Structure 1
Amino acid sequence: MSSDSSSPRLPSGLVWLMAAAAGLAVASNYYAQPLLHMLAADLGLRTAQAGVLVTVAQIGYAAGLLLLVPLGDLVERRKLVVGMTLLTACGLLVSALAGNAAQLLAGTAVAGVFSVAAQVLVPFAAALAAPHERGRVIGMLLGGMLLGVLLARTFAGTVAAVAGWRMVYGCAAVAMFALACVLRRALPAHPPAAAAVSYAGLIGSIGRLFLEEPALRLRGLLGGLIFAGFAMLWTALAFLLSAEPFHYSTFAIGLFGLLGAAGALAAAPVGRLLDRGKGDAVMGAGLLCMLASWLPLALGQASIALLALGIVALDVAAHALHVGNQNAVYQIRPDARSRLAAAYMTCYFLGGAAGSAVSAWAYARGGWGLVAAAGAACAACAMGVWAMRPRRGSLRVPAA
């Protein structure tokens, strides 16, 4: 039985630490994005082949979500988080020392699989938080993750411009080793929520949850479409900015991650709206903003100001939608939050992997215009799914 009703207020210092840890973990999956043109030149890859690095990272993350995150309902979460953080550091170290594309892909895959430590931290924090603050706490951790995703690009571009791409992965590996030590001392021990069950039974229960819970299916489909559009933007952006008419350096391309960081500022207000039961309003406004953002993005190949406006709008929308989705998912079954997170986030990152692959293909075939058209189509599909959703009374959980 959940102990949510008796949960004390979560210390703010611990929330900030968990948000920072989630950001560093998920950043491990995104260092390559502003470096794709540099990696392609250094390793002799074509544009579409370099884009495979992003796809491998997303597929690895999806595999970790499906196979590792559910363990948060079965084993002690502090030990799980620390162990996964250490293994993420190992994958980054392999990438730093890679001598060819195959070794870089291997390191990317390992880091991608175990960087799902971030997705163990979110249901961990949700379980520790009191009900009246859960939306805010989830929003803060997801804000940390979004900052990790976006600032990873700024960090990678800046460091690579000064010391090369290997230094990016080397510094990230050291940071993750240090983080594991801090988390080992700071996180509270937390017993598993599920009764004793085999690993096979635990994984099998994810499929049953997906079949039994229409709210989970709805949020999973929405999440996949939302992250597909997000990945389309950030996968192709380095190619756009490094080509005519911009010819930006790796350092300048990395700075664009700071624009997307505006989305993290939505964490606190979105969390407060969700705690007040305004989930439908958050979702409707976020989907409309995401669709509208693709107009300035499409025109951005000729105007850096419009491109910047579109990036900010899309990232704010994507973050608000993601917070709304996860807050709704965690209400479905409090005793199965890690498995619910695994199911939802597997859909989310499979969407991201598909979006990355489509983006690299679209840019190679039709340039930025085709990428923008594909992104707008994803947003329109998500709006259609939301418009046709079963209304509040027919779902088991609130739409918040």
Structure 2
Amino acid sequence: MTSVAIPAAPGLGVRRGVVVVLAVAGSITVSNIYFPQPLLEAVARGMSVSEPTAGLIATAGQVGYALGISLLVPLADGRNLRRLTTVLLALTAGALLAGALAPNLVVLTIATAAASTTTVLPQIILPAAASMAGPAGRGRVVASVGIGLTLGSTLSRTLSGAVADLSGSWRGAYALAAALTAALILVLPRHMPAADGRATIGYRELIASMPRLLRTHRELRLSAILGATTYAVFAAFWATLPFHLAHPPFDKGAGWAGLFGLLSLPAAILSYSAGKLSDAFGATRVNVLAVACLGLALALFATLGTTSLVALILGTNLLVYGTSCAQIANQARIFRLDETVRARLNTLYMLFAFSGGAAGSLAGVRLYNAGGWTWTVLGCAAFLAVAGTRLAVHSAAARH
């Protein structure tokens, strides 16, 4: 049977159909990091543990993802991507199934960390897509795949919260995630780039080369700091939102916490514009826009977010848009660097970003337990202040 080639999108250098597959696969795989967040209150109730203890699941997910990025994503520079994709999908599906069957919080936390460690395909897909794209359209291709990641991170919360409410248990969300991940084994590997004939690089050499890359590339260090701080704000908000909504004056369950993912969908879709803006005006200006949006979100959370659902929804949209813009700008910046080490550059960037996310999740839950919503917002403001200061220093240096 003959196949019909899908024409490349003008200026993108990669077939539209391939971009769609990569975006959908990125959406499904990245959702494995985020879908447990609306379930934290339900897990605390179902397993009879405290809210801060259940919050360790969110932290384990961020730590596991950072670990997987540092240890597994570099393999994309020196291994067959199709084989690597198949293995990672199988391992992730197995870990998620173990989570669905977990008898206690310890097993659930370990299973969540394991699934997060192996579900690093979004950070393999992105540099692969960037490599297939032409330089002029790299920002748009990154944004196209990035919008899939944003939709996965937001809508996964909605879906998992709804599944928990309808089934009466958080376990159904883990089972569904395992099934969707396993299904990708039939589709994604054959759409990844084939082996290009480069010599296989030893794993030890891949890992050992990364500190040098961080020292060499100033633009990478900038993206890493901005990614870590802005993502800390994002992670702290989502880790504490279920607890904030579960308490007066809201008294809402996991379904409502998940619904915020759906309610922030306009911002997720709008964030595609960050790719075009980055191509046209540069990544730094998009970073400024991102920090401004996050600042407005925190202002809404601090002033009206204690009593108003509308303010929380508006703030969530600003938060999602700002975080997505920051992510797209940061990765567009590093993907313009050395193409031969692109996966390792992305590894370093995402290691910083998700380490920031882990710190944000942990700090957010602890601050909420100590001083409620107001303390959580103040903690987020501290992270954002670091991002704003670093960006201001960079912009001032660029003008001289």
Task: Give the structure-2-normalised TM-score.
Answer: 0.93
Match of 1:24 among 21, 24, 28: 28
Instruction: Rate the CA distance shift 1:190–1:137 in 2: closer, same or farther, 3 A.
Output: farther
2:366 corresponding residue in structure 1: 361
Aligned length: 387
Give the superposition deviation at 1:392: 4.3
The answer on 1:330 being equivalent to 2:344 is no
Instruction: Rate the CA distance shift 1:196–1:187 in 2: closer, same or farther, 3 A.
Output: closer
Equivalent pairs: percent with the same residue? Answer: 35
Residue type at the aligned position of 1:301: T
Unaligned runs of 5+ in 2: 1-10
Match of 2:267 among 260, 263, 282: 263
The answer on 1:134 being equivalent to 2:141 is no
Distance 2:392 2:193 in 1: 41
Report matched runs for 1:135-214 at 5 Å.
135-163=139-167, 164-191=169-196, 195-214=199-218
Give the superposition deviation at 1:8: 7.5
Unaligned runs of 5+ in 1: 1-6, 395-400
The answer on 1:245 being equivalent to 2:254 is no
What is the SS of the residue equivalent to 2:188? helix
Residue 72 of structure 1 contacts residue 338 of structure 1 at CA under 8 Å; is this kept in 2?
A: yes
Distance 1:249 1:393 in 2: 50
Residue 220 of structure 2 contacts residue 334 of structure 2 at CA under 8 Å; is this kept in 1?
A: yes
Residue 158 of structure 2 contacts residue 262 of structure 2 at CA under 8 Å; is this kept in 1?
A: yes
RMSD of aligned Cα (Å): 1.6
Instruction: Rate the CA distance shift 1:192–1:349 in 2: closer, same or farther, 3 A.
Output: farther
Residue 75 of structure 1 contacts residue 191 of structure 1 at CA under 8 Å; is this kept in 2?
A: no
Distance 1:328 1:82 in 2: 29
Instruction: Rate the CA distance shift 1:192–1:304 in 2: closer, same or farther, 3 A.
Output: farther
Match of 2:39 among 35, 42, 49: 35
Give the superposition deviation at 1:202: 0.6
2:378 corresponding residue in structure 1: 373
Residue type at the aligned position of 1:238: P
Give the superposition deviation at 1:192: 6.9
What is the SS of the residue equivalent to 1:9? coil
The answer on 1:215 being equivalent to 2:242 is no
Could you list the structure 1 runs, at least 4 aligned residues long, displaced by more than 4 angstroms after superposition.
none
Residue 61 of structure 1 contacts residue 349 of structure 1 at CA under 8 Å; is this kept in 2?
A: yes
Residue type at the aligned position of 1:265: I
Distance 2:219 2:13 in 1: 28
Task: Give the structure-1-normalised TM-score.
Answer: 0.93
Distance 1:106 1:57 in 2: 9
2:87 corresponding residue in structure 1: 83
Residue type at the aligned position of 1:11: R
Q: Per-residue displacement from partner, 1:188-227 (whole Å, max 9, x unpaired)?
A: 414376x543211110111110112121111111100010
Residue type at the aligned position of 1:232: A
